Structure formats: C-alpha cells, structure tokens
Chain A
Amino acid sequence: MSAPRVVVTGTGWITPLGHDIEGVWKRLLAAESGMAPITRFDARTFPTTFAAEVRDYDVAGFVKDPAVHRTAGLNSQFALGAASQAWKQAGLDRAAPRDPRRVGLYLGAGEGVLDTENYVGSNLAGWDAATGKVDGRRWAEAALKRMTPAREIEQEPNMPLAHLAREFNARGPAYNCLTACAASTQAIGEAFSILRRGDADVMIAGGTHTMIHLLGVTGFNRLTALSEFEGDPTEASRPFSLDRSGFVMGEGSGMIVLETLEHAQARGATPLCEVVGYGSSCDAYRITDIQPEGRGAAVAMEAALRQAGIDPASRGADGRPPVHYISAHGTGTKENDSIETRAVKRVFGEGARQIPMSSIKSMMGHLIAAAGSVEFITCVLAIRDGMVPPTRNLRTPDPDLDLDYVPNAARKVPVDVCVSNNFGFGGQNDSLVVRRFVP
C-alpha cells in the first residue's frame, strides 16, 4: 500500500502587502514594496529604521468569536487571520471534519513580542549599578505590578497553536517548530509527512512571526544582518543584486490547509495543487556562517526532488528543466544569495540557469519563521496563474550570480512544478516540491 497523496485545499495570509490572497498576489506581481519607516516602536536612531509592517489589520474580522482570542498577541492574531482564510477556502467552515482528532496542526510560529515597556522597566527597576546585577526582589516587586499574565504567556511559541486549535476545534497531532527562517517550510513538510503516514486527514500548517520589536531589531542589527540602507526603504531589500546589504524585516503569517487527496475528494473539495516532496538537512557547520558550498541546502533540495520522483538533470517534453520556478530563500544578504545560487547550480547543473528563481523578500521583507509558508503560497499561485513573481530592486547584477532571478517584473510562464527553499539561521535547511494537481 503506497502512502496517500497530499493536496493543498486552502491558503491564507496576513502580510505587509495586505490581508487577502488575491490583493497581495496582484501587488507581488506588480513588484510593489511593503517597506516603510518602523512604527511599532521608536527606531529612529537605530542602524535600521524601516521594515515591512502589517498595516490596518483587525483579527476581529476573521474569527468566529473575538472574545475567545482576546489575549492573542500579534503572532496569534496574524495566524488566526491567515488560517481562517485557508479554512474557508478549503470549505471547512461550511462542513467541519467529522472527527476533530483527525485534524492536526503543525506550525512554525515564532516567539511572541516582549511586553517591552514593562519588561525593560522591571529590569531597570531591579538593576543595582553597584553590583552590576539585577536584584531579584526589586525586580519581582516591579514586574508583579507591571506585567500581565496573558501578555507573558502569549510569548510562548506554542500559543498561536493554542488559538488555532480552539478556533477550528483541531484535536489531532499538534506541533510548533522554530527553526528560525526555515520554520514554516519545515512545518509544512512535517505536516505533509504526518498525512502521508496516515496520522491525520487534515493538517493546518504554516508560520506566523514578527520580530519588529526592540530586541528583535537590536539582535539582528548587532549581527549586522539587516540592511542599513539610508535611502528610500522600498529600495533597501536587494536580493541577488551586487549592492545587496542585508535583509529587511517583515512580519505576518501564511497558513495552508493540507489534506489527503482521499479526504479532499470525499468531501468534494477542490485541490489547489499537490505537495510531492520534502527534504530537510542540517549544515552542522558554524554558528554564524552557512556552509560555503551550500552543501546542506543542496542536500535538502535533492531529498525533496527524490521524494517527488524528479531527476533534476532531466528535461520535460518542452525541453525545460523539470522544475519551472524556484521560490528562493533570497534574503538579500551577501552570504545567503551567493551560497543559495551555488546550491541550486549544484543540484540542477546546466539546467539551473533556465529556471526562474525569485525572492519575494524584496517586496514584503523577511517574515522570519513565517517566510516559508508565505513563499510556499506564491508557488501555489504561480502554478494556478502561470505567473512568477519578480525580484524587486535587482538593477545591478552580481557577476558571480548568474541565474535567472526574474528581475523587477513578473513573468508569464507555464508553471507545473515549483521548489520552495528556506534556510534557517543555525543551519536548518528545508525544501518543498509542489506540483500542479492532476487527478
């Protein structure tokens, strides 16, 4: 008995470019940017003063009963909005699955936002300059007055999971993974694996994250990973460009409904596409650097293609390589873009140059843990519409980077098979292969 086929039946996202599938997709194809000065806190003196923020979003418009989610932090709010869209598109709002124990969740959600003012305030209240230490009693006295239970508990990375489980009455296997920028790709891959093994009929999968807060921006600034571009923020994110200088933070959520083909067909749902391959590897190289030859990235792509039954060296009837679009991790850092290019060439050889590969991070920034799921959804849409989104701000080609990065303008091209890549800080690499659904 072979493993069941797994299809996508719902998609949803809350992003810096909007809160609905079609609107955001149009903006991506028009190469619009979601970057602007940071408004979530006063970052005017920071090395980086801009990001791509989700604007004018209210979760109340998406959930059944906002009171149930009154404690939801930003990550949970984004996740609820995205998952509600996906659930609805899958038609599960009209007829919920019969057995909630067969509905699982696998998220790649980030840690929640610190209650900055009260956290920092408590730390300073407890600070004893003479000893250079925080006095526990004074800290507790301040913190117990200032902090609030829900706000603190919401920071646990499994809380978006708790909200989604409650909203959709999902009682099956439930996981949250947090492998930095690879998290939601890994979540989709593991959800796919759970369905293939028969441990659930339906899985909600995806990611949600914002790090646009005091210590998030501070942390990445100290690592010098963020663009410190001083001009128009919409030109700051420059993946694959010679003058790329770091990534730009985004925030939001992408969620999908995955289910076994049998379950989807039995309830008359329309498969949007099929997930056919998942590969995962670890660099095990250095804390701060990616393995320079892209070994881990290549291993993840190769494993995903092998599971999909795709020989990367093969050609289709139209003479094209067997993959028609690669959603790149494409952060816009010197290191990532060079190594990712190397890895793709290592996997696809001569064919690599013929595969359009773009980075939507050039437009909506890097959604960190949520990046993979949002990018995965663009693959679903690329297959549907035969359009691939562009890499914005690619005006100065890097002579060492010689793939087809779809510079600046979306392209019409038939797409049946996509690879979606994400590589996490810390060495986790994940790739998914998604294919047009053919009964």
Chain B
Amino acid sequence: MPRQPRRTVITGTGTVTPFGLGTDALWEGLCAGTSPVAPCRAFDFGGFPTPFVAQVPEGGFDVKNVVPKSYRKATKVMSRDIELAVGAAFEAVREAGLLTKAHEQGSVTIPPARFGCHIGAGLIAAEENELTGALATARGADGTFDFGRWGTEGMANLTPLWMLKYLPNMLACHVTIIHDCQGPSNTITCGEASSLLSMGESMRVIGRGDADACLSGGAESKTNLMGMMRQHYAGRLAATEAGEDPAKVVRPFAPDAKGCVPGEGGGLLVLEALETAQARGATILAELAGFGASQSFCPDTLGVEPESSGQGIVDAIEAALADAGIAADAVDAVIPFGTGVAALDASERSAIEKVFGARAATLPVVTMCPSIGNCGAGQGAIAAAVAVRALRTQRLPARINAAGVNGLDANACPARDAKLSTILVFTPSLGGQNAAAVIRSIA
C-alpha cells in the first residue's frame, strides 16, 4: 500500500480530569502520586458495591469560563459529557496556539473548512433529577407512571431542547460551533476505545488530505446513577468496605486487584498535518506515528468477559506498530487501560507479553485508573495527553497502589526520569473493540 502521504503531529493536548482543568494539573497530580477518588458529591452511592468515584473537583472547572461570552447561554443545554468535551477543546486549542472563532477577535489561524473534529462519546445518562422531576408529574392514582398523563401533561415539563443534551454527537456539535470546525466530523461510540478510534480517524482524514487539523479525542462522565449501574452490571466496580481509603482502591495488575471506580474526564488533542503545523510555526509536541484497530472475539458476545488471550489487543497493537513502521523493540513505555479489574488486567497483560516477549517484564507501564477511574470514552485521549507530557519531560509519572506485581513493571513507584522516544497507548472496550496508537517524539 502507498505510505501515508501526510504525517500527523500533536500540537495541543487539552484535558479535563479528576485533577481539574488542563493537562498541567493532570500531569502534576499523576507525578505526585495522588488520587482524587472520593465519595460521589451528587448522589449517595451507598447502595452500590462502592460509593467511590473519580470526579472533576468542585470549583476546578466551570464550563462558562471556557466558552466565548456569546456562547454562554448554550451551556444550559450541555450535559456533563458535553461540558467536559468543551473544556478539553478549549485547553487543546490554547496549547496549540491556534486562533479559532472562539477568540472573537483577530483572524483565525486555521481555515474552518480545513478543520475537522472527531470526538468519542459514551451513552450519556439523562440528568436524573431533571428527568425524574418531570416523570413524577405523570403518576397515576397508584403512584406508578402513567403513559397517558405523560402524553397530556408530563412531557411538557421537560425543556423543549431536553434531548439535545443527550445525543452523543452533541459533544462534537458544540465543539465544532465554538471553534468553527467545518471539515469532516464524526462521533465514535465504542466505549473506552472511542478516544483512540477518534484519533485514528482524524489521523486518516489528515493523512488523506481531507483536513489540515482536527480536534480529536473523547469525553464521558460515568459518575451518575446509570453510569454507576452499568459499571456494576459489567463487573467493573471494586467492592469496598466502610472506612476504606478511596485513594487505595484501584490497583492495576496487582494480585489483589479488585476492580475500578467510575470516573469522568475528557481529552481532546489538536492533531495537525506536519506540513501545515510547520507552516504556521506551531510547537510540535509529538507525532501520532501509528494507529491500529481490531475487534476481539468475546465469548459472551457483549464483552463483559474480555477475551482472555488478549489476541484482539495484540492485533490492534501490531497494526499500530506496523503503521508507524517500527518494531516492538522501539517502544519505551506503554499506557494500557489498566483498570484494576482482574479479568481486564489479565487480558491486557497477556497482550503485552505476546507483543513484547521477554521485554514485558522491564517495559514501564503507566497506570492512571487509581487516580482518574474509568473515564470511558475520554480515557484514551487522556492517556495520549499523558504520553505527550512524558515524552516532552522525559519523565514517567508515579504509579500508586499496586504491589506484588510479578513479570510487569507496574508496581507502585514514584515519578522518575526516563529516556523516552516512543510510547504505545491502547484501550480495549466493553464490547470488544480495541485501538492502539504509537506516539513518538519528533526530531
């Protein structure tokens, strides 16, 4: 096949995570080895196996501060997932030094028709208090829901634009309006693989010349009742006891790993064609050098039980390495999903061992879930932002909680200096989709 005609580079990494707004906060928090995991602020989750979640800190992020004044009214129709994407986009554009329509003054530095947008999104939960407040107005005499009353009077209690908060493509809708991205735009909904799949699609769109730059990544909040419920039903939650330290619950790859906690977060990168990034004098942070995707064979069809061989993950990684034109030997560190859910850990571990052979034991593994939980569709782009920081600073963030891990470099340890030129990021998803990306320093 012909080689990609255009190389794709990363010029901005915007994140909103349980550490707050911006990749500085994320990076500093991960390097310090802290964990913002705590009981949920909005709901008492005491009825679930764990009350703990990883939320964006209160006061750490207000969406009104990251949209142009003229757009503040529209924040009323943003669900949490949309807010996270809008915040991540603001940060990404700022770091990339791009001037978009959001600046409201001066001329834009990216032609709107050449600006694309690919955002991974989750199954957005309706805001429970708002919806239930309306549902409660349509109860029959026996207190149960009455469809007839809902039609005649109940539904009118929902704001006319209610549904627009929850369509997955509304993340991209708001972001593209704010930054005037008129190029190709897509919304990928493949669970936790959504971010990396979006980045892969942006890379192809840029590679084939259909856009010069793309906002790319994903965002999701699982720190709500339905998010919690679905994570519980998928066997992803760690069961905790009263008095347990929330910061120590998630232990990726450890023998005593017992599960994960729901998180919320968004990551959007500015991906650009190398040539147009250079032409505008942008600071090039790293190259998105390779991408691969695959599907696992899930014995239970839905992928609640992951493929134990990890073969699907291997296929995605090998495709990404081949796309980057490198051998596994060239990889200096990996950022897997690393949930601390034993079966998922085993599947990822198996994939790392297959791809890296004897090197698997000494290849540094970066873990984030102990601090940020499972950020769903946002996960892969947050990991990519971390990879870029690691390459830029030649440092690996701290790992926490895991002890007694044999055969993988994944035990708890402080942040450390490391010689890094290539980092592999991958995320398998509930449902069995896998995506992998090779991110490397640019000379």
Q: A: which residues have CB within 8 A of B?
A: 1, 3, 41-47, 68-69, 71, 101, 104-105, 111, 117, 120-121, 123-124, 126-127, 129, 132-141, 143-144, 147, 149-150, 152-159, 161-163, 165-166, 169-180, 186, 190, 193-194, 197-199, 214-215, 218-224, 280-288, 295-296, 299, 303, 424-428
Chain B residues within 8 Å of A286, by CB: 177
> Which listed residue (A45, A123, A162, A197) contacts B303, Cβ 8 A?
A162
Q: Please tell me if the beta carbons of A424 and B169 are within 8 angstroms of each other in the complex.
A: yes
A124-B135, A171-B294, A178-B121 given; A134·B432 CB < 8 A: no
A183 to B123, CA, bound (A): 15
Q: What residue in chain B is nearest A162 (Cβ atoms)?
A: B431
A43-B151, A141-B47, A166-B298 given; A281·B183 CB < 8 A: yes
B350 at the interface (CB under 8 A from A): no
A129-B136, A175-B293 given; A156·B431 CB < 8 A: yes
Most buried by A among B131, B430, B431: B431
**A–B pairs, 10, beta carbons within 8 Å:** A45-B152, A124-B145, A140-B47, A161-B433, A174-B293, A178-B168, A179-B185, A190-B201, A198-B1, A284-B112
A43-B147, A136-B43, A281-B183 given; A71·B302 CB < 8 A: yes
A406 to B296, CA, bound (A): 46
B172 at the interface (CB under 8 A from A): yes
Q: Please tell me if the beta carbons of B180 and A284 are within 8 angstroms of each other in the complex.
A: yes
A45-B147, A153-B234, A176-B189 given; A158·B433 CB < 8 A: yes
A123-B132, A158-B191 given; A44·B185 CB < 8 A: no
Chain B's interface: helix, strand, loop or mixed, by majority? mixed
Q: Please tell me if the beta carbons of B74 and A287 are within 8 angstroms of each other in the complex.
A: yes
Distance (Å) between the CB of A11 and the closest chain B CB?
Answer: 22
Chain B residues within 8 Å of A180, by CB: 167, 169
Distance (Å) between the CB of B344 and the closest chain A CB?
Answer: 15
Q: Mark B148-181, 1 if CB is under 8 A from A, else 0.
A: 1111100100111111101111101110110111
Chain B residues within 8 Å of A129, by CB: 136
B94 at the interface (CB under 8 A from A): no
B186 at the interface (CB under 8 A from A): yes
Distance (Å) between the CB of B78 and the closest chain A CB?
Answer: 10
A230 to B133, CA, bound (A): 30
User: Which candidate, B25-33, B225-233, B281-289, B388-396, is the interface stretch facing chain A?
Assistant: B225-233
B139 at the interface (CB under 8 A from A): yes
A299 to B182, CA, bound (A): 9
> Which listed residue (B44, B228, B429) contacts A158, Cβ 8 A?
B429
A71 to B301, CA, bound (A): 9
B2 at the interface (CB under 8 A from A): yes
B106 at the interface (CB under 8 A from A): no
Q: Please tell me if the beta carbons of A218 and B225 are within 8 angstroms of each other in the complex.
A: no
Chain A residues within 8 Å of B294, by CB: 101, 171-174
Q: Please tell me if the beta carbons of B185 and A428 are within 8 angstroms of each other in the complex.
A: yes
Chain A residues within 8 Å of B123, by CB: 111, 155-157
> Which listed residue (A132, A157, A175, A280) contacts B168, Cβ 8 A?
A157
Q: What residue in chain B is nearest A138 (Cβ atoms)?
A: B47
B356 at the interface (CB under 8 A from A): no
Q: Please tell me if the beta carbons of B161 and A288 are within 8 angstroms of each other in the complex.
A: yes
Q: Please tell me if the beta carbons of B182 and A174 are within 8 angstroms of each other in the complex.
A: no
Distance (Å) between the CB of B48 and the closest chain A CB?
Answer: 6
Taking CB atoms and an 8 Å cut-off, the chain B residues in 216-241 that contact chain A are 225-226, 228-230, 233-234
A136 to B77, CA, bound (A): 24
Chain A residues within 8 Å of B152, by CB: 45
Q: Please tell me if the beta carbons of A283 and B182 are within 8 angstroms of each other in the complex.
A: yes
A126 to B43, CA, bound (A): 11
Q: What residue in chain B is nearest A216 (Cβ atoms)?
A: B163
Q: Please tell me if the beta carbons of B302 and A154 are within 8 angstroms of each other in the complex.
A: yes
Chain A residues within 8 Å of B46, by CB: 136-137, 140
Distance (Å) between the CB of B98 and the closest chain A CB?
Answer: 15
Most buried by A among B77, B181, B184: B184
Chain B residues within 8 Å of A140, by CB: 45-48, 225, 228-229
A163 to B432, CA, bound (A): 10
Distance (Å) between the CB of B381 and the closest chain A CB?
Answer: 16
Distance (Å) between the CB of B56 and the closest chain A CB?
Answer: 19
Chain A residues within 8 Å of B167, by CB: 178, 180, 425-426
Q: What residue in chain A is nearest B170 (Cβ atoms)?
A: A426
Chain A residues within 8 Å of B228, by CB: 140
B72 at the interface (CB under 8 A from A): no
Chain A residues within 8 Å of B172, by CB: 179, 282, 426-428
Most buried by B among A43, A180, A287, A295: A287
A42-B148, A123-B131, A132-B133 given; A1·B2 CB < 8 A: yes
A155 to B177, CA, bound (A): 28
B438 at the interface (CB under 8 A from A): no
Most buried by B among A68, A150, A153: A153
> Which listed residue (A121, A162, A218) contacts B302, Cβ 8 A?
A162
Q: What residue in chain A is nearest B433 (Cβ atoms)?
A: A174
Distance (Å) between the CB of A343 and the closest chain B CB?
Answer: 14
Q: Mark B61-98, 1 if CB is under 8 A from A, else 0.
A: 00000000000001001000000000000000000000
Give 3 closest A-B pairs by Cβ, nearest first.
A140-B47, A219-B163, A45-B151
Q: Please tell me if the beta carbons of B133 and A174 are within 8 angstroms of each other in the complex.
A: no
Q: What residue in chain B is nearest A150 (Cβ atoms)?
A: B302
> Which listed residue (A127, A135, A165, A215) contacts B44, Cβ 8 A?
A135
Q: Please tell me if the beta carbons of A136 and B136 are within 8 angstroms of each other in the complex.
A: no
Chain A residues within 8 Å of B210, by CB: 280, 303
> Which listed residue (B162, B197, B295) contacts A170, Cβ 8 A?
B295
Taking CB atoms and an 8 Å cut-off, the chain B residues in 387-436 that contact chain A are 429-433
Chain A residues within 8 Å of B292, by CB: 173
Q: What residue in chain A is nearest B311 (Cβ atoms)?
A: A171
